[in-house]
Amino acid sequence: MLDINFIRENAKKIKKAVKDKGLQLDVDKLLKIDDKRREIIRKIDTLRSERKKISEEVRQAPKSKWGKLVSKAKKLNNELDRLDKEYSKIKIYYDDLMARVPTVPSPDTPIGIGEKDNKVIYQKGKIPKFNFPPKDHIQIGKDLDILDLERGTKISGYRGYYVKGDGALILMGLMMYSLSKLVKKGFRPLIPPTLVKGFALFGSGYFKGLEYNPDIDEIYQLATSDKEISGAVSKEKKFLVGTAEPSLLAYYANEVLMEKDLPLRVCGFSQCYRSEIGSYGKDTKGIYRVHEFMKVEQVILSKANLPESEKLQKEMVSISEEMHKELGLPYRKLQICTGDMGAGKYKMFDLEAWMPGLKRFGETGSASNFLDWQSRRLNVKYINSKGEKKYVYMLNNTALATPRTFIAILENYQQEDGSVLVPKVLQRYVGKKKIVPVK
């Protein structure tokens, strides 16, 4: 969400951002609605001022004049009631439009419609050449008895899966390895809630509009109601997060931080849940695209300083790159184009690891700089050295996610005898250097 005055002053830039990001928003209509909203507010303020004056006159006037003053006050109250109702209606419309206003992307963000227009910055690591017909992760997982898709589907439904034995140790090892890495880099680890209120998802931008829309938001809503501490049934909706990001950002909602404490670096481990409704028919085999998985997320809250926030974004990406290198995975870095980056993002980079079974690179991480778009929604501010309150800038990045990193390891480290080598940095968690086929 952006400041309405900024939108007015930069209407042309906002319109271009709407177009470049492929969004549906009439900026001129928003400004007209805002004109009407401001007009109503002015009228309400004027009438309230008049009502206050009448109240003072009543206290000072003789009883003989009370009737006329009370009648005048009644008319004012009736008009105020009408305007309040009118304001409530227009405020809903205004808030809905404001929620759809995008951040103006960085000047160097590629203009494009979708993922085909993303720009490859560079590629690192040697893509393996096999002296045998390589398998995909589905066959490898079955041969090693570490992946069971059939029973996963039986128990969980479409996109369900079990990871077993040494496979489970690799997955948990990836999480512990990434958490340890981030702690060494100065990030404070958290295990955040995965069951959250709607404001956390709206605030972080995981609702496309003001409210949850099951037709477009890839979020699971709980059907069962909670109970309040009083025992009464809660009317508040609850949702499952698709990443630790909303929980980590909402931790500071409605709080005012101090500039000396910024930047704040936190990382969170969580189970993640995604309905994948927008990905129907994509990657239907294996575990590349699933409904639930584990991930470690990086989040930074910084001062409202653009150069500093861009430096911090590079820092986060470099940590993820370091982990890809230590895992021995060939990867590439992409800068995401306008049409593939989402409404609130100023700049976005993806990392993709090479996956021999897919014969292509697959996304294993994503880093985004939102500037103050999220913090305005979540109302997170800080006091600067001048005593001024500013909205913080918010950034996030995938440290490591499963199961895609798991896929890349299985497929890149497979051997001719059917075994899979365990990356050196994970051997302490798996307890062995190689996973061999079940005999």
Catalytic positions are 274, 289, 363, 366, 404
The closest of 221, 417, 203, 192 to 295, measured between CA atoms, is 192
Going across the sheet that includes 380-383, the strands are 255-258, 380-383, 389-391
| CA–CA dist 34, 371 (Å, integer) | 24
| CA–CA dist 93, 109 (Å, integer) | 31
CB 125 within 8 A of CB 354: yes
Q: How many CA atoms lie within 13 A of 94 on its CB side?
A: 18
Instruction: Tell me the one-letter amino acid at 154.
Output: K
Instruction: Tell me the one-letter amino acid at 7.
Output: I
What Rg do the C-alpha atoms of the chain give, in angstroms? 27
Asked if omega into 403 is within 30° of 0 (cis), the reply is: yes
CB 198 within 8 A of CB 237: yes
The closest of 411, 290, 322 to 361, measured between CA atoms, is 411
Q: Which two tokens stand for residue 24?
A: 């549906």
The closest of 178, 112, 103 to 335, measured between CA atoms, is 112
| CA–CA dist 238, 197 (Å, integer) | 5
Cβ-based neighbour number of residue 8 at 10 Å: 14
CB 371 within 8 A of CB 103: yes
Q: Where are the beta strands (DSSP E) in 279-430?
A: 292-302, 331-335, 347-355, 360-369, 380-383, 389-391, 393-401, 420-421
Instruction: Tell me the one-letter amino acid at 59.
Output: R
